[in-house]
Chains A and B, each alone.
Chain A
Amino acid sequence: MVKQDSYDGEFDELNNVKSLLFIRRNRPGCSAKKWNDWPDEDLEEMESTLAVQQYIQQLIKRNPNDVETILQLPDQQDEGVWKYEHVRQFCLDLNLITVRLQQECTPTTCTQMTATEQWIFLCAAHKNPKECSAIDYTRHTLDGAACLLNSSRYFPSRVNLKDSSVQKLGSVCRRIYRIFSHAYFHHRPIYDHFEKETSLCKRFTKFVTKYDLMTSDSLIVPIDEETNDLCSSNTESDKNEQISSIQENNLEKTQIENENSYHKPSDESEA
C-alpha cells in the first residue's frame, strides 16, 4: 500500500509538472473539441489576475452539472470577487439561452416579459420604465448587466471590489433570473434542453441562495431537488399573487430609479 501511495504521489507530481509546462492557449486551427483542452490547474497556481474567472470556467468545463463544486468558495478567496466573477459567468452563459430564445420568442409571441400570468416586468434598462417584449427584456437586461459589470465606475477592477459595488450584484441577479423564469414558463422545451446541458438555473438558484442575493420566495423556477416546490408556488392564492405583483412592480420602479442614476453618471448621489 505504501508503495502504491508513493507511486501515486510521483504520478501526481508528474502531472503537476506537465500542467506547469503546458501552455494554455487556443491556437488558430484548433478544433472545437480541443478548445480549452488542457490539464486543470489549482487556483493557487494560476498567476493571472483573472485567475478566478479561469478557475470557475475550468470547473464548469470539467462538469457543468456539479453545481456544488463550482460554487464552493476556495480558501482565502475574496468573496466579493468570487460573487462578481460568478455573476459575470452567469451573464456569459445566458447568452446561449438568449440565442436559442431568439428563434421562437419574438415580440409577437411574447409581447410582455412575464413568468407566471400576473407578473409583468418592466424593462429597467431604459430611462423611463418600459414594457418591453420578452426578448427585448432579455437582451436589454443582459446588455445592461454587461455594461454595469464592466462599468469603470462600479467595477474598475476585477481584483479589488468595493462593498457598495458588490451590493449591485443583487439587482443584477434579480433581473437576470427573470430570463430563467420566462424561459421556464413560456419556452419549456428550450429551457429543459438548456438546463440539461448546463444546469445553469440550478447553479444560479444555489448561488443566490447561498449568498443571499435573492429572497427564496422570488425563486419561482423549480430546480431538480425541489420539484415539489413547483406545486406550492403554483397554488398561491390569486390575492397574494396580485399583491406580490404590485409589490414587484413597485420594487421594479425603485430599481428603475437606481438604473437612472447609473445612466446619468453626473449624478453622484449614489457614489
Chain B
Amino acid sequence: MERSDDVLLSNAGMTTNGDINAVMSSSNSSSNNSNTQGNTNSERAANSYSMPGILHYLQHEWNRFEFERQQWELDRAELMTKISFLQGERRGQENLKNNLLRRIKMLELALKQERIKYHKLKFGVDPPPLNTTTSNQNDSKNNQSNDNNDDNDTSTFSISQHPILNKENTASTNAIKQGRQLLKQYLQEIGYTDTIIDVRSARLRALLGKAVANNGQSNDQSNDLLSQSNQLDPLSNLINGNKQLLQLSINNSSNKRASSKTNGNLSSNEVQKILKLTEGESVQNSEENSLSGITGDDKNSSAYYDDEEMSEEDINCKSNGDTDLDTEDALKEFAFLSESSSGSDMESNSDWNVDKAHLSKLTEQYKKDRKMAKNAKMEALVNTSLVNTHRPNRSTLQAMIANLTEQSEDNTNEQNNTNSQTNLNIGNSIKTNDVSPGKNEKIKFNKTNNNNMFFSEDDSFTNESNLGELSRLSVDNSINLSSINDETVVDSSRKTISNKHLLRGHFDSIRCLAFHSTESVLLSGSEDQTIKLWNLDKSTINNKKNSNTDIEPIYTFRKHTGPVLSLLISPSGDYILSSGLDSKIILWNMPNHETTDQYDPYAPSVFVKYLTGHTDAVWNMALVDNTLVSVSADSTIRIWNPFSIDELNEASLTSIGCLNENKTEGIPTSIDFINNEKTRIITSFGATHHNLYDLETSKIITRFDYFDSTLNTHCYKVLSHPSTATMSSSLVVSAHEDKKIRFFDINSGKLVYQMVAHQDACTDIAIDPTCNYLLSSSHDCSIRLWNLETKSCVQEMTSHRKKYDESINCVAFHANKPFIASGGADAIVKIYV
C-alpha cells in the first residue's frame, strides 16, 4: 500500500492534467501510473481503470501531441518566411550593388573624359598619359585599402593654390550674377515672385520636417532591421556615427570591413529612403537658388555664388522648373554613386565588368546634364555626407566627391601636398555636416533661412529657435567655405530679430517706450508712475562680462502721480516729454546717459516744467521740430511749443492751440504728424474714424471712416507712413481692437487694405526707419514684423505674459540702430536685436 501510494503521488506529479487526476483518484485510492499498469499489478489495475477514463486520457494525450505538432509547424513556417525574406533581401542588395557599380564606373569614365577635355581646352594639348594610367591604376587598385588616398592624390588640388583657376571662377561668378539679375527681372515682370516664394517656402518647410524624420527612420532601420520598434534615439546614433566618420577620415586607412557589414544590413527600403532624401535636398537646393535669385537681394545671391566658388564652372540656371528636375536627376545619380562606392568597399573583387554600351549612353547623358550636375555638386557633397551620417564608412566616397567638386587637373607632382589638403577638406566637410542630418540641411540653409523668415508666416517661430544653432554653424561654414559673404549676415540681422535683453526694473505694466534718436538709450514709462532710462550700450558691455548681470536702469524719473502713458525724446536728444493718466505732460532734461547712475544724488534740474491744459489722461503725443501735439481723454487735441526759448523759462506752459474743444468728434486716442511735416496731423477717434487736420487752419481736411457696428473697432494707434520708393502714395496705418491693421490712402481717405494681424487686439504699431517694415504688438502676447510691401508677416515673436487681459502695450524701433523694444503688462521691457 505504501508503495502504491508513492506511485500515485508520482503519477499525480507527472500528469499535468487535472481531469486525469480527478479520474484516477476517484476510481481507486491505490491506482497506478498508466504506463506501468498492465505489467505490474494487473489484477488491481484491471479494477482501477474504467473505459471512459482511459478513452478520455488517450483523447487528451492525442490532443496534446497534435497541438505541439501544430506549433512546430508554425515555427517552421515562420522560420521559412524569415529565410526567404532574407534571401530576397540579399538578392535585392546584389542587384542594387550591381547597378551602383555600373554607375560608378560610368561616372569615373565620364570624369576622366572631362578632365581630358578640360586639359585640352586649357593648355591646347592632350594631357600627359600619366593621368590616364593613374586613374586606371585607381580602378584596378580599388580593392586596396589605401585606394581612396590615391584617388584623392590624382584629382585633388585646392583653389587657393591655383590662381588661374581662381580667376576663372570669379569671372564665371560675375557672369552668373548677371544672368541671375536678368532672371530676377523676368520673374518680377511676370509677377511670379510672390507665389513662387510662398509655395517654395511652404514646400521647404514641409521638406525640412520630413527629411529629418526620414533620417531618423532609416538610421533606425540600419541599426536593427527586424526590431523596428526598438526606440533608439536617432540623433545620438547619428552623432556616434559622425564621430566614427571623423576618425575614419583622419586615419584614412581604416577598418572598412567592419563598416561594410553595416552596409550589408541596409535594406532596399532604406536606399529608397535615402533617395527620397536626396531628392528632397535637391528640391531644397533649387529652392535656395530661386530664393536667392528672386528675393532680389544682389548681395544674397552673390553670397550664394561666392560660397559655391568651390564648385568651379558652376551653375547655368535656365529656369526654375528645369533646374528642379535636372538637379534632381543629377542628384539621383550621385546618390547612386555613393551607394555603389559603398558597394565597392564591401565587395571589391566583385564585378567591375561594366556594360559598355550602357555606360557610353549614360556618359552622353551625363555630358548633356553636366552643367546641371555641377550645379548640384556642392549639393551632392553635402548629400553624400548626409548619407554618410547613416553609415560611417564613407570617407572614400567623401574624398571622391570632394575631388569631383574641385574638378581639378591631375597634378602628380603635388601629390603629397594635395593629399594632406584633401584630408583637411574632408575633415572640414564632415565638420560642416557633423552632429545631425537635420543640421546638415540647416547649414546649407543658414543663409537662405534668413530669407525664408521673410516669407514664413507660421513657422517663423521654429525657424527662430533654429537660429541659435544656425548662427553657431555659420561660423563653421565660414571656415570651410573660404568666402562667406558678411553682408548677408548684416543684411539679415535687420530682418531676423531675436530676443536679446530683458529689462526688469518696473513694478507694473509698461505703457510706453521711446528710443533715443542716435544713442542706444531707451526710455520706458510704466503704470508704476515712473519712467526709467536704460543705457543699452552699457548693458551690452556688462553682458559680455557676465551674462547673469541684470541691466539696471540708469535713472528713474518720478514726477507723475499716475501711470505714464506716452513718451517722446526730442530729435536732439536733449529733452524728454512724458504724459500720464494724471493729465500732466512733463518736460524733462535728458540726463547724460554715459555718466548718470541711478544712485547719484537727486538733481531737481532734470525736471523742467509741466505743460498744463489737459484735464484728463493724456494718452498720446507726437512731436515734429518744435511742435508738440497731444491727445487726451478730455477729448481735446492740444498743440504746444515746448522748446521755444522764452517759454523755457516759465514754470509751466499752456498750449498754443486746441482742437475738438466742443467734443463733437469724440475722444481722440492717438495722434501722428503726416510725413513728419508740422502742417498736418492725423488723429484717431475711438472706434469710429480718423481725422486729418490742417494745423494752420485747424480744419478737418479728410475723414477716414472705419466704424463697423459688429466689431469693436477701437483704434489703439494711428501712424502716418510716408511714401517710399516701393509705395508711391502715403498711407495712414492704424491698429485696432478687432485684431486688424488698417491702411488708408491719405488723399482719398479710403480704406485701401485691412488685415487681421493678430489673434487678439492689436495694441501698437511702429514703422522701421526704412519704412519697409511694420512692427505690431498685440494682447495675444506676440509681436509681429510685417513686410509693408507684400503685407506679409516676416516674423513673429511670442513674449510677455498677461496681466488682466493685457499683455503687450507698446513696441518701438530705434531710428538708426538695429534695436526693437517691446513693453509688456508683466513689467518687463524686451529688447530684440
How far, in Å, is B662 (CB) from chain A's closest CB?
17
A152 beta carbon closer than 8 Å to chain B: yes
Assembly CA distance A151 to B505 (angstroms): 8
Least Cβ–Cβ distance between B642 and chain A, in angstroms:
21
Q: Does B758 contact A (CB under 8 A)?
A: no
- Please give, as numbers and ranges, the residues of chain A lying within 8 Å of B506 by CB-CB distance: 146, 150
Of all A-B residue pairs in the complex, the 5 with the closest CB atoms, nearest first, are A24-B804, A150-B504, A29-B669, A28-B669, A31-B633
A99–B806 CB distance below 8 A: no
The chain B residue sitting closest to A99, CB to CB, is B558
A residues 61-88 with Cβ under 8 Å of B? 88
If A29-B668, A146-B556 are given as contacts, then 15 extra A-B residue pairs at C-beta distance below 8 Å, sorted by A number, are A25-B805, A25-B806, A27-B737, A29-B669, A29-B686, A32-B617, A48-B801, A49-B801, A50-B825, A89-B507, A99-B529, A125-B599, A143-B556, A149-B507, A153-B550
Interface 1/0s, chain B 422-457, versus A by CB < 8 A? 000000000000000000000000000000000000
Q: Is the CB of B616 within 8 A of A151?
A: no
Find chain B residues with CB under 8 A from A133 CB. Answer: 601-602
Across the interface, do A25 and B804 meet the contact criterion of CB distance under 8 Å? yes
Q: Are B558 and A139 in contact (CB under 8 A)?
A: yes
State the B residues within 8 Å of A (CB): 502, 504-508, 528-530, 546, 548-550, 552-553, 556, 558-563, 565, 581-583, 598-599, 601-602, 604, 616-617, 619-620, 631, 633-634, 667-670, 686, 714-717, 737, 761, 779, 801-806, 825-827
Q: Given A25-B779, A29-B686, A102-B604 in contact, is the A50-B802 Cβ separation under 8 Å?
A: yes
Asked, given contacts A48-B801, A49-B801, A140-B599, whether A152 binds B550 with beta carbons under 8 Å apart, the answer is: yes
Check A106–B604 contact: CB distance below 8 A. Answer: yes
Determine the chain A residues whose CB is within 8 A of the CB of B563 once the complex forms.
Answer: 35
A26 to B806, Cβ gap below 8 A?
Answer: yes
Which chain B residues lie closer than 8 Å to A151 at the CB level?
Answer: 504, 550
Closest Cβ neighbor of A53 among chain B residues: B803
Q: Given known contacts A29-B667, A95-B530, is B801 in contact with A50 (CB within 8 Å)?
A: yes
Known: A26-B806, A28-B717, A30-B633. A153 touches B601 (CB 8 A): no
Which residue of chain B has its CB nearest to the CB of A130?
B599
> Are A126 and B599 in contact, with the CB atoms below 8 A?
yes
Smallest CB separation, A38 vs chain B (Å): 8
Q: Let me know if A139 and B556 touch, CB within 8 A.
A: yes
Name the one of B530, B552, B602, B616 contacting A102, with C-beta atoms under 8 angstroms: B602
Distance from B120 Cβ to chain A, minimum over Cβ atoms (Å): 68
Chain B residue at minimum C-beta to C-beta distance from A101? B558
Q: Which A residues are closer than 8 A to B by beta carbons?
A: 23-32, 35, 38, 47-50, 53-54, 88-89, 91-92, 95-96, 98-99, 102, 106-107, 123, 125-126, 132-133, 135-136, 139-140, 142-144, 146-147, 149-153, 265-266
A48-B802, A99-B560, A139-B602 known; A25+B761 contact, CB < 8 A: yes
Which residue of B has the minimal Cβ distance to A137?
Answer: B602
For residue A96, which residues in chain B have a CB less than 8 angstroms away from its CB?
529, 561
State the Cβ distance, A22 to closest chain B Cβ, in Å.
9
CA distance A92 to B506 in the complex (A): 9
A95/B528 contact (C-beta < 8 A), A27-B737, A29-B667 known: yes
Q: For B685, give the chain A residue with the smallest CB separation.
A: A29
Q: Cβ of B507: which chain A residues have Cβ within 8 Å of it?
A: 88-89, 91-92, 146, 149
Q: Which residue of A lies closest to B735 (CB)?
A: A28
Chain B proximity of A193: nearest CB distance (Å): 12
Provide the residues of chain B in CB contact with A146, threshold 8 Å: 505-507, 553, 556
A27 to chain B: closest residue by CB: B714
Closest chain B CB from A264 CB (angstroms): 10
Given A27-B716, A31-B633, A35-B563: A265 touches B548 (CB 8 Å cut-off): yes
Q: Which residue of B lies closest to A140 (CB)?
A: B599
Closest to A50 in B: B803
A266 touching B602 by the CB < 8 A rule?
no
Q: Cβ of B508 and Cβ of A54 under 8 Å apart?
A: no
A47: B residues at CB distance < 8 A: 802
Name the CB-closest residue of B to A142: B556
- Give me 23 A-to-B residue pairs in the complex whose CB atoms sit less than 8 angstroms apart, sorted by A's number: A24-B805, A30-B633, A32-B562, A48-B803, A49-B802, A92-B507, A95-B528, A95-B530, A98-B558, A99-B529, A106-B604, A133-B601, A140-B598, A140-B599, A143-B598, A143-B599, A144-B599, A146-B553, A150-B506, A151-B504, A151-B550, A153-B550, A266-B546
Does B505 lie within 8 Å of A147, measured CB to CB? Answer: yes
CA distance A23 to B827 in the complex (A): 20
Report chain A residues within 8 Å CB of B530. Answer: 95
Task: Assess the A132–B601 pair: CB atoms within 8 A.
Answer: yes
Q: Which residue of B lies closest to A31 (CB)?
A: B633
Distance between B538 CB and nearest chain A CB, rounded to angstroms: 14
Of residues B505, B556, B601, B602, which shows the largest number of chain A Cβ atoms within 10 Å of its Cβ? B602
A29 touches B601 (CB 8 A): no
Q: Which residues of A lie under 8 Å from residue B633 when comparing CB positions?
A: 29-32
Supposing A23-B805, A150-B504 touch, asked if A107 and B602 sit within 8 A by C-beta, the answer is: yes
* Contact partners of B631 in chain A: CB under 8 A: 29
CA distance A99 to B602 in the complex (A): 12
Give bound CA distance, A144 to B674, whole Å. 42
> Which residues on the B side are within 8 Å of A89 (C-beta)?
507
Q: Which residue of the partner chain A has the closest CB to B718?
A: A28
Considering the chains assembled together, what is the distance between the CA atoms of A153 and B556 in angstroms? 21
Given contact pairs A24-B805, A28-B670, A28-B717, A150 touches B505 in the complex (Cβ within 8 A): yes
Residues of chain B within 8 A (CB-CB) of A266 are: 546
B548 contacts A152, CB within 8 Å? yes
Return chain A residues, CB-CB under 8 Å to B550. Answer: 147, 150-153
B151 CB to closest chain A CB, in angstroms? Answer: 55
Q: Judge whether A99 and B561 touch: CB under 8 Å.
A: yes
CB of A35, distance to nearest CB on chain B (Å): 6
A246→B340 CA distance, assembly (Å): 89
Q: Are B804 and A92 in contact, with the CB atoms below 8 A?
A: no
A49 to B802, CA, bound (A): 7
B571 to chain A, nearest CB (A): 24
Q: How far is the CB of B740 from chain A (nearest CB, A)?
A: 15
CA–CA, A9 and B779, complex, Å: 33
Shortest Cβ gap from A154 to chain B (Å): 10
**A143–B549 touching, CB < 8 Å:** no
Q: How far is the CA of A50 from the CA of B508 in the complex (A)?
A: 10
Given the complex of chains A and B, what is the CA–CA distance between A185 and B601 in angstroms? Answer: 22
Most A-side CB within 10 Å, residue of B502, B528, B581, B670: B528
Is the beta-carbon distance between B619 and A29 smaller than 8 angstroms? yes
Does B549 lie within 8 Å of A35, measured CB to CB? no
Task: Determine the distance from Cα of A35 to Cα of B527 in the docked complex, in whole angstroms.
Answer: 11
Alpha-carbon separation in the docked complex, A126 to B600 (Å): 9
Known: A29-B668, A99-B559. A107 touches B601 (CB 8 A): yes
The residue of chain B having its C-beta at the shortest distance from the C-beta of A48 within the complex is: B802
Least CB distance, B531 to chain A, in whole angstroms: 11
Q: How far is the CB of B484 from chain A (nearest CB, A)?
A: 35
Contact A31 B616 (CB under 8 A): yes
| List of B residues within 8 angstroms of A125 by Cβ | 599
Tell me how far the C-beta of A252 lies from the nearest C-beta in chain B, rounded to whole angstroms: 16
B558 near A102 with CB under 8 A, answer yes
B413 to chain A, nearest CB (A): 58
Cα A104 to Cα B473 with chains together (Å): 60
Chain B contacts for A30, CB-based, 8 A? 617, 633
CB distance from B172 to the nearest CB of A (A): 53
Looking at B550, B599, B601, B805, the one whose CB has the most chain A CB atoms below 10 A away is: B599
Interface centre among A30, A54, A140 (most CB of B within 10 A): A30
Q: Which residues of A sit under 8 angstroms from B560, Cβ to Cβ?
A: 99
Q: Considering only CB atoms, which chain B residue lies closest to A146 in the complex?
A: B505
Q: Taking CB as reference atom, which chain B residue is nearest A49? A: B801
CB of B698 to closest CB in A, whole Å: 21
**Quick one: which of A26, A53, A92, A144 has the most chain B CB within 10 A?**
A26
- B546 pairs with A135, CB closer than 8 A: no
- Bound form: Cα–Cα A24–B619 in Å: 18
Nearest CB of A to B712, in Å: 9
Q: A98 vs B313: C-alpha distance in the bound complex, in angstroms? A: 73
Point out the residues of chain A lying under 8 angstroms from B714, CB to CB: 27, 29
Give the distance to chain A from B825, nearest Cβ to Cβ, in Å.
7
